[in-house]
Amino acid sequence: MPAVDEILRTLPVADLARQLDARPEEVQHAAAAVLPALLGGLQANATDPAGARSISEALGQHDPQLVDGRVDLGAVDTRDGEAIAAHIFGGNQERVAQQLGGLQGVGGPLVQRLIPILAPIVMSWLAKQVLGQAGAGGSLGQAQGGPVGGTVLDDILGSVLGSAAGQTGTSPRDDVDRREAQGFDTGTIIRDVLGGLLGGGRR
């Protein structure tokens, strides 16, 4: 299952809508734009070895925040989310939010409020994927403890993010058809919205 679809399925959209004083469909559309932007931004940073190492180290602080397969909003640290977003987007965060909001027709302010909520959720998802591929029992911190742990995790991180941002599906045509039906295109978000805004290797 593509990464965006997988994360979207864990979101308590109705609860998020109440928290943000928005309609559920607005939150769904905004989240569908924010998630690939966060994943694409992480991928852009991970192309630099120092950036990849920084992200790998941060993953150890983000355990899965799920209750019965759904995100527990009470466990989401939005201050941490603000720091993650600043690391990913730098000074371009407001511009990214405005463009994402315009793309989805939900407005930049809603997107900007959603980013710090979704950023820790994305990091938790990423931590789970990287830890699973690393085959480590316990925690990312333990996996990073070995002499080559950081290098191994950095390589896995790049692989996971490349696949997530690429949004591989059952078939290219099926993937395009599904995304057109849902009203968003992750490729457009990553190419056109992020474009040249992000540089690799923020540390």
pLDDT tens figures, 27-46: 998 998 899 889 888 888 88
Give the tokens for residue 198: 């992000």
* Cα separation values, 103 from 55, 121, 179, Å: 28, 22, 14
Residue with tokens 């941490």: 80
129 pLDDT band, cuts 50/70/90, is: confident
Q: What is the pLDDT of residue 67?
A: 66
Mean pLDDT of 35-63: 83
Q: What is the dihedral of CA 54, 94, 76, 55, to 10 degrees?
A: -10
Q: Which of 128, 164, 154, 203 is nearest to 38 (CA)?
A: 164
Report whether pLDDT(93) > 60. yes
Q: Average pLDDT, whole number, for the chain?
A: 74
Coil, strand or helix at 163 = helix
188 pLDDT band, cuts 50/70/90, is: low
DSSP 150: H
Percent of the chain whose predicted confidence (pLDDT) is above 70: 66
Report whether pLDDT(172) > 50. no
Q: What is the pLDDT of residue 137?
A: 45
Q: Which of 135, 137, 150, 165 is nearest to 59 (CA)?
A: 150
Residue with tokens 């989240």: 31
* Cα separation values, 192 from 67, 124, 195, Å: 35, 26, 5
Mean pLDDT of 54-60: 82
